[in-house]
Structure 1
């Protein structure tokens, strides 16, 4: 990633950059970071860094301890499950809606492109690209059902869940299942089969429960 530096970099932009780096695991759980180090890296004063740190701590991505330091938060499995629960029920509802309303051909093409990109990224071990394509796929279903604000609400509470998904892709756990389920969902939306789509989405969003044990074995230091 090419970072902006200097006066152009506001606290909000810095917050977005750091948030993305945490979710991508470029800033790993438990890592110690400092206002001084970040301000020097991005060539900004400490004020926007302090403001960005505060926003990230409010979202649970940073732990700030006075007199001790600031650390990228460890992954909280209770928050992972809460976000997974929310996504499962919202996405099952929206995919059924996609099957019973006039889901546009343009959005179906976008879904197909997302699956192609995801397969290519997985083949090339580009897990960040695969993660983005996965997000694009799910967001497109919400967009196609005129429920983008619902998607944005989900995104506000799923930081730890997103980090688990990144670890799942990086660990190469059942990645073929992910893309095959995406392809199946496209066919079911096309053929207006809401009950079958509901079942696939349910299975799709409970896969994380089966991957957690292996992920915790591989990255025990990342968890609370």
Structure 2
């Protein structure tokens, strides 16, 4: 089934007419969110040029909110500014993706342990199951963005179930590294199906209070991101920093 990535409407269709600092700030925020989404969902590919004039014309806004958005994206590591050349979508980095995987595994396996150590939480399990169902439906519909939103909901629900919502910003930043490679690879859909299967194994372990099953499933799920990164790097070496020679340590 063909994956579709919805292209949003122009910002002038969803924002009030400009006027005042509040509206200017809101417009800059919307431009930032649009560009960030385009990068994370691979509508803007690694290494692709970001012309202020081009983005402003596409979104039907002035250059000022575009400039502000690009500056924020630079701080987040999603855009690079090269002297005399302009702004580009940041290339992927195997080293940084591995670092992000280390952070995710440290945090999310500990979350699994804490859930298992706490009293059984049927509502928490139900929230995880609901996110899996949404992810499966989105995959069936070929909806890339809905698939990734449901995947995010699953991992966010894990933190919520043990009262660690504040940790999400750390996990989310690490997930952004993986999401870009997944968005490039997802047209195969196989990686999405495997993610649902991994989620099911994690939930089965949590439901049965089986620490070995739940922890193994989580580690296996996160390790697939590394495998996927190597596959994407082999298929699209131009999307990766040159000094990051793709190879497996095994």
Q: TM-score, normalised by structure 1?
A: 0.91
- CA distance in 1 between counterparts of 2:154 and 2:166 reads 16
Q: Is the 8 A contact 2:159 2:168 kept in 1?
A: yes
1:176 aligns to 2:193 (yes or no): yes
Q: Is the 8 A contact 2:32 2:72 kept in 1?
A: yes
Q: Is the 8 A contact 1:107 1:144 kept in 2?
A: yes
Q: Is the 8 A contact 2:104 2:171 kept in 1?
A: yes
For residues 85-125 of structure 1, the C-alpha deviation after alignment (integer angstroms, 9 at most, x for no partner) is: 10111000001211221353223222112112222222333
Following superposition, the deviation at residue 37 of structure 1 comes to 1.4
Aligned to 2:206: 189
1:26-175 to structure 2, matched below 5 A, reads 26-102=43-119, 104-175=121-192
Aligned to 1:21: 38
Give the unaligned 5+ runs of structure 1: none
Following superposition, the deviation at residue 173 of structure 1 comes to 4.0
- CA distance in 1 between counterparts of 2:156 and 2:10 reads 26
Aligned-residue RMSD, C-alpha: 1.9
Once structures 1 and 2 are overlaid, which stretch shifts more, 61-70 or 158-167? Answer: 158-167
Following superposition, the deviation at residue 56 of structure 1 comes to 0.3
Q: The residue matched to 2:95 in structure 1 has which SS?
A: helix
Q: The residue matched to 2:11 in structure 1 has which SS?
A: coil
- CA distance in 1 between counterparts of 2:173 and 2:192 reads 25
- CA distance in 1 between counterparts of 2:173 and 2:229 reads 22
Following superposition, the deviation at residue 174 of structure 1 comes to 4.2
Following superposition, the deviation at residue 10 of structure 1 comes to 2.3
Once structures 1 and 2 are overlaid, which stretch shifts more, 26-35 or 212-221? Answer: 212-221
- CA distance in 2 between counterparts of 1:42 and 1:132 reads 23
Q: Is the 8 A contact 1:79 1:161 kept in 2?
A: no
Q: Is the 8 A contact 2:103 2:174 kept in 1?
A: no
In the TM superposition, structure 1's runs of 4+ consecutive aligned residues that sit over 6 Å from their partners are: none
- CA distance in 2 between counterparts of 1:25 and 1:174 reads 16
Q: Is the 8 A contact 1:97 1:194 kept in 2?
A: no
For residues 119-176 of structure 1, the C-alpha deviation after alignment (integer angstroms, 9 at most, x for no partner) is: 2222333222211111111111111111111111222344322212223423334443
Q: Is the 8 A contact 1:131 1:165 kept in 2?
A: no
- CA distance in 1 between counterparts of 2:234 and 2:118 reads 43
Q: The residue matched to 1:25 in structure 2 has which SS?
A: coil
- CA distance in 1 between counterparts of 2:138 and 2:163 reads 28
Q: Is the 8 A contact 1:99 1:191 kept in 2?
A: no
